[in-house]
Amino acid sequence: MTLDENLDSAIKRIEKARLEVDAHHIVKIVAISKYSKSEDIRELYSAGHRAFGENRVQDLNTKSQDLEDIPIEWHFVGVLQKNKINQLLKLRPSLIHSIDSLELALELDKRCERGVDALLQVNSAKEETKSGVDPLSAKEIYESIQEQCKNINLKGIMTIGAHSSDQKEIKKSFEVSRKIYESLPNASILSMGMSGDFELAIKCGSNMVRLGSTLFMRN
């Protein structure tokens, strides 16, 4: 498979899933390039894709320099350490998916003067290995960030589905996120769904999927 074919096949599957929700339910793809080289990103860009995401500030820095001749829309999806905030902001990410505490938001708010779009990450599956806020306090934290962090434009919620082979468990975690998303009057982005579970995520209301392996694998 070429990356071009991978993209076509993902688009077809997304199309089918989103039409089951509603003809007007539009889903955006963010290609997660964390295990891929700059040349592969360039290849997917040539196939027409524009939004890419990385989970390490250092990798985002390197790859965005390699690719500075093309207008990529960069997303940041990884754990953000406080000592990396300045470096990340310099790279002007289009969306930070992974605000995982009010404390991090306050720190980010202090350092960004231009304003930045971001999502609150919710640990909807309540897994210790995952970051994100507890679903029970998500709405309250979301509103505190909106009140206290004038330089952060919160756009919605990001979730990683339950790490399980049981579809019901994964679905449950997506539905928890969807309920929180729907309780937030001005939220417009519900980022959930990865290579293994994006169709289910879309059926549960996701409008932004983060696809790594299914786009970048070559076999």
Ligand X SMILES: *Cc1c(COP(=O)(O)O)cnc(C)c1O
For ligand X, the binding residues (CB under 6 A) are 32, 34, 55, 77, 160, 194-196, 210-214
What whole-number distance in Å separates Cα of residue 153 and Cα of residue 26? 21
What whole-number distance in Å separates Cα of residue 25 and Cα of residue 163? 26
Residue nearest to ligand X (CB): 212
Cβ atoms of 177 and 157 within 8 Å: the answer is yes
Phi, psi of 131 (to 5 degrees): -90, 180
Cβ atoms of 112 and 150 within 8 Å: the answer is no
Q: Which is nearer to ligand X, 151 or 195 (CB)?
A: 195
Terminal CA-CA length for the chain:
6
Q: Which is nearer to ligand X, 66 or 196 (CB)?
A: 196
Q: What is the closest distance, in whole angstroms, from the C-beta atom of residue 53 to ligand X in the complex?
A: 7
User: What is the residue-wise DSSP string for 117-176?
Assistant: EEEEEB-TT--TTS-SB-GGGHHHHHHHHHHH-TTEEEEEEEEPPPSSS-HHHHHHHHHH
Q: Which is nearer to ligand X, 33 or 64 (CB)?
A: 33
Q: Which is nearer to ligand X, 18 or 210 (CB)?
A: 210
User: Which residue bears the tokens 């071009």?
Assistant: 4
Q: What is the closest distance, in whole angstroms, from the C-beta atom of residue 170 to ligand X in the complex?
A: 13
Cα dist. 47→8, 162, 203 in Å? 9, 31, 26
Q: What is the closest distance, in whole angstroms, from the C-beta atom of residue 194 to ligand X in the complex?
A: 4
Q: Which is nearer to ligand X, 69 or 214 (CB)?
A: 214
Q: What is the closest distance, in whole angstroms, from the C-beta atom of residue 209 to ligand X in the complex?
A: 8
What whole-number distance in Å separates Cα of residue 45 and Cα of residue 51? 9
Q: Which is nearer to ligand X, 111 or 163 (CB)?
A: 163
Q: What is the closest distance, in whole angstroms, from the C-beta atom of residue 113 to ligand X in the complex?
A: 27
Q: What is the closest distance, in whole angstroms, from the C-beta atom of residue 189 to ligand X in the complex?
A: 14
